[in-house]
Amino acid sequence: MPDTITTTQSFLDIFDITNDLLLMKDGTTSLIMVVDAMNFGLLAEAEQDAIMYAYAGLLNSLNYPIQIVINSRTKDVTTYLNLLEKQEAETPSPVIQNRIRKYREFVGNLIHDRNVLDKKFYVVIPASPIELGMITPSSVLPGKQSPAIETMERSVIIEKATNLLEPKRDHLAAQFARIGLFSRHLTTQEIIELFYIKYNPEAAEGQHIAESSSYSAPLVRARMQGEHMDVPTPTNPVPAAMPDPMAQPVTPMPATPSPMPAATPEPVLEPIPAVPTMPAMPQPEAPAADESAMQADLNATVQEMGQTPITPITPIPPGGMASPTTSEPAMAPAAPTTTTPLPEI
């Protein structure tokens, strides 16, 4: 009889936990929600009646099965005690250190002596293999079995379960909100921690469950339809083509060296001598005209003709406006006019 290796996994009904879903070996896929609690006994009578009527409306609105699980376990305060120990080591005052140490011992003894429990409420929404299409009509015949979940494509199962369970989850979350309870969907890591603590209540106390991404065993993360699928690269190299034994060997022709053309010497460019610049020819200065003498001759000629002498005109600078520094000359006094009779012709 061949030796068989039996592991704990073979005795569990859980097949896989992935994509925030729980896959069982019989094909059932479940979605788990955690729901907050309320202190019903402290409410008024009218508030209690309202909550009971709202809960009755939740149950009447269901057209699919659900499972309510109440999980109670000893309160784990290891993280809180470690925080107090760290604060005690970092405090410089010995008096405060003594008080923190006494408080840490009091909390630890209280949790273990009084057996303080932590209670959680879960709602499980299952999807049967018939709803997922895993049971074929031929499997109901005598002698036929439904295909095992190992032989089916996991991505197809997860896609069908997601499309089937998410509307039910949203409906339940809305109904719990009417009662005043907050609910949310458990992630893959939270589901792993829940079952690990359930199967190992003693060993799980004070332990921190590592993230599922750090596990040494590969986890299958199914892709939904429409997403890009990575094509694996083959690890074995492609073998080279085998030589054809019937092919004629090809004798390589000797390479004939081609004569290289002689290098043509490049012409040497001689520098062009600089052309001497012609010196600027001095311009002859125009003789300055004696303006006063010309004005006196003009006035004398005008007096002989019996006319009023002409006032000298001040030149206007370029731009059409008189220079502000040029002062207008005073008018010369009028000379007495003498009437000279014209000779008769």
Taking the whole predicted model, whether its pTM rises above 0.75 is answered as no
pLDDT number for residue 139: 67
Strand-pair partners of 24: 14
pLDDT number for residue 290: 58
pLDDT number for residue 305: 65
pLDDT number for residue 72: 87
CB neighbour burial string for 314-336, b if at least 16 within 10 angstroms, e if fewer: eeeeeeeeeeeeeeeeeeeeeee
Q: What is the CA radius of gyration of the chain?
A: 56
pLDDT number for residue 323: 47
Average pLDDT for runs of 10 along the chain of length 345: 63 88 91 93 93 93 94 85 92 93 91 84 93 75 71 88 94 93 93 87 64 54 45 46 51 51 53 54 51 71 61 53 48 54 55
In angstroms, the first-to-last Cα distance of the chain is 175
CB-count exposure of residue 79 (10 Å: 0-12, 13-18, 19+):
exposed
Spatial contact of 182 and 42, defined as CB atoms under 8 Å apart: no
pLDDT number for residue 188: 93
What's the rounded Cα separation, in Å, for the pair 214 and 253?
A: 63
